[in-house]
């Protein structure tokens, strides 16, 4: 158990809908990362937050947004969902920049 908690574990939704994925980082970790993993794209970095502030942005679509709250948990919002958004979404956390990054078990999103 990495200590990073993600909910829900599985989610099936229809195209055009909006979902929110939630992540609780390890106790004491200030940095949260979101990744998308699909069969054809591999593990893609989406966005990183550090202590509530956006730190780095990767290949995150405009339909997606994220935030980190004062209690350090984070949410990834995915809207106007398309079939191609079906993937495993990982949250990860670390104490800070340059420290070991620990991953949650992931949230499986299936868009039908």
Partner 1 sequence: SQELEQSPQSLIVQEGKNLTINCTSSKTLYGLYWYKQKYGEGLIFLMMLQKGGEEKSHEKITAKLDEKKQQSSLHITASQPSHAGIYLCGADLNTGNQFYFGTGTSLTVIP
Q: Tokens representing 33?
A: 């990362």
Q: DSSP letters along 20-65, please?
A: EEEEEPPTT--EEEEEEEETTTEEEEEEEEETTEEEEE-S--TTEE
Identity of the residue, 45 or 79, whose beta carbon is nearer to partner 1 in the bound complex = 45
Site for partner 1 (CB under 8 A): which residue of 14, 28, 40, 42? 42
Identity of the residue, 45 or 65, whose beta carbon is nearer to partner 1 in the bound complex = 45
Identity of the residue, 18 or 91, whose beta carbon is nearer to partner 1 in the bound complex = 91
Q: Tokens representing 78?
A: 């995915």
CB-CB contact of 19 with 11 (8 Å): yes
Site for partner 1 (CB under 8 A): which residue of 69, 97, 110, 112? 97
Binding site for partner 1 (CB under 8 A): 2, 4, 33, 35, 42-43, 45, 48, 55-58, 88, 90, 92, 97-98, 100-106, 108
């Amino acid at each position: 158990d990495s200590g990073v908690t993600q909910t829900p574990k599985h989610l099936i939704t229809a195209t055009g809908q909006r979902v929110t994925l939630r992540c609780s980082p390890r106790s004491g970790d200030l940095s949260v990362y979101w990744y998308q993993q699909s069969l054809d794209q591999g593990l893609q970095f989406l966005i990183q937050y550090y202590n509530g502030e956006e730190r780095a942005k990767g290949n995150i679509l405009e339909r997606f947004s994220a935030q980190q709250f004062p209690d350090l948990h984070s949410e990834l919002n995915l809207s106007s969902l398309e079939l191609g958004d079906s993937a495993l979404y990982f949250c990860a956390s670390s104490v800070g920049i340059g420290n070991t990054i620990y991953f949650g078990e992931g949230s499986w999103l299936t868009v039908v």
